[in-house]
């Protein structure tokens, strides 16, 4: 089998079957990997995963039987493992030769520590050079840069969309932006303070560069945010 260049990982969080089906259709040829209970979302969307990874503590017996009938590869891990199911899925994507990974269902989990763990996986150095994007509820989240090297990204959207920038290292240096309401010019963002929260696109295309350090970029469509109950600070 030729190495997969695009992998779609489905976790057991907040994802609608129609949204999942749309992501899969838009991505074109890909390898579909489900994290444990995420396989139920895949089946509900009328799709079949290539592989399901995890300790199978959140997948129902009926769904597991269906997967076995379909001949899906099931990689059963010990419950007493060091890695999360999502981390095992990312390792499976690397093993498959992925160059681009989209993750859905990684947020909105009943236990918030799993959502936090999924976000922090973006800082894993094993993902350096791999494009990893978390999608969900009108937002896209991805990492820019490395601990010792520069990063660059373009954000495509509509004026008024929200953009937040959070350091994933103690200090992310040389952050420069264009196309955002609150401009940064060769500035440092330290871990902890929320200065990078809730910036806004002023054009349809914004740019962010960094000199050193990893940066978490979160782009949320304003139309999606306005449809949600009010929150934040």
For the entire predicted model, the pTM comes to 0.89
Nearest to residue 130, comparing CAs of 142, 119, 141?
142
Give the model's pLDDT for residue 176: 98
Give the model's pLDDT for residue 137: 82
Torsion of CA 21, 23, 29, 31, to 10 degrees: -80
- In DSSP terms, 156 is beta-bridged to 205
Give the model's pLDDT for residue 2: 45
Nearest to residue 162, comparing CAs of 227, 224, 78, 230?
224
Give the model's pLDDT for residue 1: 40
- In DSSP terms, 189 is beta-bridged to 172
Give the model's pLDDT for residue 231: 53
CA dist., res. 47 & res. 99, Å (int): 22
Return contacts of 18-23, CB within 8 angstroms, 24+ apart. 18/45, 19/104, 20/44, 20/45, 20/47, 20/104, 20/105, 21/45, 21/46, 21/47, 23/102, 23/104, 23/135
Torsion of CA 61, 67, 70, 75, to 10 degrees: -130
Q: What are phi and psi of 154, to 5 degrees?
A: -120, 135
Give the model's pLDDT for residue 23: 84
Q: What are phi and psi of 91, to 5 degrees?
A: -65, -35
Residues of the chain with pLDDT under 50: 1-2, 233
Give the model's pLDDT for residue 48: 96
Give the model's pLDDT for residue 109: 72
How many Cβ atoms from other residues are within 10 Å of residue 79's Cβ? Answer: 9
């Amino acid at each position: 089998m030729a190495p997969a260049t695009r992998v779609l990982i489905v976790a057991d969080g907040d994802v609608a079957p129609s949204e999942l089906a749309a992501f899969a259709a838009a991505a074109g040829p890909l390898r579909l990997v489900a994290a444990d209970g995420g396989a139920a979302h895949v089946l509900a969307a009328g799709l079949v995963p290539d592989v399901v990874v995890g300790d199978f503590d959140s997948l129902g017996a009926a769904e597991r039987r269906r997967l076995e009938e379909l001949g899906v590869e099931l990689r059963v891990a010990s419950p007493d493992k060091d890695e999360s199911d999502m981390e095992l899925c990312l390792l499976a994507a690397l093993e498959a030769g992925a160059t681009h990974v989209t993750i859905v269902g990684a947020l909105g989990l009943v236990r918030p520590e799993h959502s936090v763990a999924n976000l922090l996986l973006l800082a894993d150095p094993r993902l350096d050079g791999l494009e990893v994007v978390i999608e969900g509820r009108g937002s896209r989240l991805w990492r820019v840069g490395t601990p010792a090297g520069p990063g660059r990204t373009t954000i495509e959207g509509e004026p008024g969309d929200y953009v937040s920038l959070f350091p994933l290292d103690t200090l992310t240096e040389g952050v420069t932006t264009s196309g955002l309401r609150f401009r940064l010019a060769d500035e440092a963002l330290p871990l902890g303070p929320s200065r990078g929260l809730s910036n806004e696109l002023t054009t349809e295309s914004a740019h962010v560069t960094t000199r050193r350090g990893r940066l978490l970029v979160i782009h949320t469509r304003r139309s999606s945010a306005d449809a949600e109950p009010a929150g934040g600070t």
